[in-house]
Structure 1
């Protein structure tokens, strides 16, 4: 009897310690009330806790710009601009009309772009984003699909949030307007959902990605200060490419944070694939990749922290990592810290010395324990937000 009592007492102490530790952790990291919850609190990641616990989010949409983390944290999008409302799904790549997404996206002044209703936008050619723009799909079901999708090229301070991008096709060779005063000839986009090209301070959050002709999110040609977070990726081969090629050394400046994403069923490879630059892969959920999860070439630095890796059932593809190098990779800094591995998954580390993320000042944040990742990524993808309610 005494033994049973002591055992029960010890179990209660352990449980109390775990609850206390979790609450202390959440207090510093972030939590909020979940949608529809009237009593308990729903565990949220730091980004979501910043805005989703406020039922008046629709009255202060621009507050979202203060919620980014990681290398793209300083992306302000259209925070200091007017609200622009998309009222029609029509598109003209040369002379876009007011009320269309393209008309808002190419303006020179900062704009916070929202949508008047649910819509599926079939772009007639790639959409060229201008600087200081936010695409905010909250409050409507917005899909960009069945045509060319979004190009972020040579600009800065872009936020893309809360939309679905799927079944994107290559762009056509032809004229495309990129600002009110400039229309130029484009050779044709490759078919990415979002292509970030020679740009900085970009944040892509809470989007749904699937089935595009090329990549789902590519960051190339000297782009940097990018955060890709809270997205749901599914049904695609080459999901995320960071770095243009093995000879494009300008990508050495690239710094990307990949956080709180759910790489779901049907993702084959490049979750992400990195060249030259630095990538912090943190608190993502991986659900049975079909070839590999994290890969790269040209000596990138990759820090995998607090991720939740579930390997596929097929035995040849249990390894999380894949390196492509003709000259050896022993000195490449690829590290795993606090990751959890399931179904035989394993991470091959390499290199020497610290590779902690080189965040400066307020860009830094504390990775959550990997066991929390299923909760922190449970709402990845475009959310179904209703004005006046918790999202």
Structure 2
């Protein structure tokens, strides 16, 4: 730990707790462990802040200090750090720890009711995005929220949670960094107070939110996210009324990987109660993503999530040994799991899909201008299924080639998918440490 950080934290209850009650050997061992599987293990592996003296944090202010002290600028701090999350950290809270709502970030001139009135289809039309003073005020409000609740994580960092650890109401941003490990933390509800209405998005228009729970972007490399959970928390998409007949969407993704990021593994985590879960590759036009976006998803539980499990552009993405338990009603009614996007090369292996009665298994794959996808050994409701053949039979005008065109360059062991429905709910999520 740096002298500056010691001085900054010396008077805090978090630092006092660390000094008085050393962390257990179990926690120290978990904090020092390198990435264990997948793309995060290649080209030197992922070690995070291994070797640094751990610091316990209990608030947003302490987390920012431990990461470097300057919120959205602290990515420049590449000093190794092990940061232990204790309790619930609210990323919208002020420096004294008090929760804040939209009024803390709203710019002068912003009024939600006036925004809705001004840009309704009847008043504004459907052929152009909002512009003018109210939209400028909304954008300024959004930027104020981002400056406070989007927290950048620099290189060579490990974040690990003690039992019950949560990070809520904001975003961890990994942008242009490398060698980051995040383990044993529950992430909830990256609520955008100021979503934008876009009448040109789809045939009916859509509300679009800004924030993911974790965003990995701009050539970030070597990231391991393990034994975490991700959800909308208590504020589901139907918790507030629709506007213009559309979900008044305040959530974006759970974990997105984009803009040249690569060598990422997400393992043993629980994703639930959410719409847009993972986008891997943000745009069909980003041809510079070729050869990047190498991501492994394994041992995860996708539970009552609607889509993007994942949706892939360009990347060599390995999806193996995951459990999918979608629902057919409510705000997160299942749309699809595996999205085959532009030049995507997704390899699915030994996954288990437990579908509600009557749900068509051809919906598991969806075509997004892709050409190929491969599935080996997956089960649907306990029975072997050829997911690509099922998709092609239902979509003869948009068929996909069966084959990923690559093989994983790392060692891995495939589980028996018949056992995943029992094993994964017991192991996925923040289950690394006991409750004592």
Equivalent runs, 1:1-391 vs 2, <5 Å: 56-65=25-34, 67-73=35-41, 74-86=45-57, 88-91=58-61, 96-97=64-65, 107-115=77-85, 117-123=86-92, 124-137=148-161, 139-146=162-169, 148-170=170-192, 190-198=210-218, 199-211=220-232, 213-252=251-290, 253-264=292-303, 266-288=304-326, 290-315=334-359, 318-325=362-369, 329=370, 332-342=371-381, 347-348=387-388, 350-351=400-401, 355-359=405-409, 363-377=410-424, 378-383=426-431, 385-386=433-434
Q: Distance in 2 between matches of 1:118 and 1:210?
A: 17
Cα pair 1:287 1:310 within 8 Å, conserved: yes
Cα pair 1:81 1:110 within 8 Å, conserved: yes
Cα pair 1:125 1:171 within 8 Å, conserved: no
Cα pair 2:88 2:168 within 8 Å, conserved: no
Structure 2 unaligned spans of 5+: 1-23, 93-147, 195-208, 233-249, 328-333, 390-399
Cα pair 1:312 1:318 within 8 Å, conserved: no
TM-score w.r.t. length of structure 1: 0.70
Cα pair 1:244 1:251 within 8 Å, conserved: no
Q: Deviations over 1:78-114 (max 9, x none)?
A: 013221221x314389xx5469998797543101111
Q: Distance in 2 between matches of 1:98 and 1:302?
A: 37
Q: Distance in 1 between matches of 2:28 and 2:173?
A: 29
Q: Distance in 2 between matches of 1:100 and 1:154?
A: 16
TM-score w.r.t. length of structure 2: 0.63
Q: CA RMSD in A?
A: 3.1
Deviation at 1:313, TM superposition (A): 3.5
Flag the 1:279–1:356 CA change in 2: closer, same or farther, 3 A.
same
Deviation at 1:386, TM superposition (A): 3.8
Cα pair 1:334 1:351 within 8 Å, conserved: yes
Deviation at 1:70, TM superposition (A): 0.6
Flag the 1:270–1:312 CA change in 2: closer, same or farther, 3 A.
farther
More strand, by proportion: 1
Deviation at 1:151, TM superposition (A): 0.6
Cα pair 1:81 1:112 within 8 Å, conserved: yes
Flag the 1:322–1:353 CA change in 2: closer, same or farther, 3 A.
closer
Flag the 1:114–1:300 CA change in 2: closer, same or farther, 3 A.
same
Q: Distance in 2 between matches of 1:229 and 1:105?
A: 26
More helix, by proportion: 2
Q: Distance in 1 between matches of 2:365 and 2:265?
A: 21
Cα pair 2:66 2:83 within 8 Å, conserved: no
Q: Distance in 2 between matches of 1:233 and 1:299?
A: 26
Cα pair 2:83 2:158 within 8 Å, conserved: yes
Runs of 4+ in 1 over 6 A off after TM superposition: 99-105
SS in 2 for 1:159: strand
Flag the 1:275–1:122 CA change in 2: closer, same or farther, 3 A.
same
Cα pair 2:374 2:402 within 8 Å, conserved: no
Q: Distance in 1 between matches of 2:270 and 2:423?
A: 13
Q: Distance in 2 between matches of 1:134 and 1:222?
A: 22
Q: Deviations over 1:243-265 (max 9, x none)?
A: 0111111222221101000001x
Task: Tell me which moved more, 98-107 or 153-162.
Answer: 98-107
